[in-house]
Amino acid sequence: MTLKSQIEQAARELGFSAFGVTDAEYDPVGHSKHQNWLSHGYQADMTYLERGPRQRFDPRVHLSSAQSVIVVAMNYYSKPNDDPQKGYISIYARGRNYHFVLQEKLKLLCDKIRELSGENASFKTYVDSGALAEKPLAVRAGLGFIGKNAVLIIPKTKSDTKRHPLGSFHFLGVIITDLRLEPDTQAIGTCGQCRKCIEACPTDAIVGDGVIDAAKCISYQTTQNKSDIPDGLAPLMGNMIFGCDICQTVCPYNSHIEETPEPAFKSLPELLNPDIQSLIQMDEAEFNSRFSQNSIGEFRFSMFKRNIEKVLKNIRNKFSGPLK
């Protein structure tokens, strides 16, 4: 086996469902697309996306000796089981904080790579953190393509003999290294004529092929917007307390995907159709204790409380009688 194939095998043993390698070259195309997106103001008030734009598309800004970039994906999917009379937490946030889980696994993978290569290689790891655009790297590494809803869709891996695609409910992990590994062929794919995600989005946040206007996105409003949610958008949240999965759940590529085998990403019972009345009574101390190991805990209590109040109003407006 080549070093690269041994690394892939080690990644799969750690639970990663897709693996690919690309070179550490600067990506001018991705950089240009990002600048165009910013020029339209689609970042809303996420001003951190405006800082250091080149480093998002140049791995060598992060590791000057970089030769290769390893990109891995891990399935986090579980069935939505949405009850419209109760709150909805996005699937990604129902288990343990994915930053912790993937960083632990990436560290183990780096240790294994050093063992396999016999070299004192250098590594930089990223899990949806730091100024690095992970999805374009995943495309370059052959994992999949960017869908119309701007998420990475993995049709199936090159070594996967399963009939069905792997879909888009995946977390991405990136390792920048000074090891030279054979790059994979860039993935090619499109959504074709399908417009299900565009048609299903209640706020019309998908404004172009792979282009999201964050200010219209429920996920942005409930997890990133630190101000009040606009009156015109709040009723469209429905029962979405934290995040939104609508554009992914309607995607045909996700129609037959398997649930995650990773125990850390299994939905906690209290976050599956959570009771609104119990959440509205929660104070900040309980919030911090309850969500310390969860992605929700990374966000402000005031934002979470605001979201609950909006959702409670929406549910009361939609359903008469006492809530479940």
Percent helix / strand / coil, the chain, rounded to 5: 40, 15, 45
Q: What is the pLDDT of residue 52?
A: 83
Share of the chain above pLDDT 90, in %: 90
Q: What is the pLDDT of residue 165?
A: 80
Query: CB atoms < 10 A from the CB of 48, how many?
Result: 9
pLDDT in tens, 177-217: 999 999 999 999 999 999 999 999 999 999 999 999 999 99
CA distances from 58 to 68, 140, 188, 251 (A): 12, 13, 21, 31
- Comparing 9-18, 50-59, 67-76, 85-94, the range with the smallest average pLDDT is 50-59
Helix (H, G, I), strand (E, B) or coil at 293: coil
Query: CB atoms < 10 A from the CB of 214, how many?
Result: 19
Would residue 160 show up in a list of annotated catalytic residues for this protein?
Answer: no
Indicate which residue of 128, 160, 178, 184 is catalytic: 128
CA distances from 192 to 136, 146, 189, 195 (A): 19, 12, 9, 9
Are 2 and 184 in contact, with CB atoms under 8 Å apart? no
Q: What is the pLDDT of residue 323?
A: 54
pLDDT in tens, 290-324: 999 999 999 999 999 999 999 999 999 998 755 55
- Residue ranges of alpha helices (H) inside 118-151 are 134-140
Q: Which residue has the tokens 């998002």?
A: 56
- Confidence label for 274 from pLDDT (cuts 50, 70 and 90): very high
CA gap 305, 176 in Å, rounded = 38
Rg (CA), the chain: 20
Q: What is the pLDDT of residue 51?
A: 87
- Confidence label for 62 from pLDDT (cuts 50, 70 and 90): very high
Total-model pTM: 0.94
Amino acid at 199: E
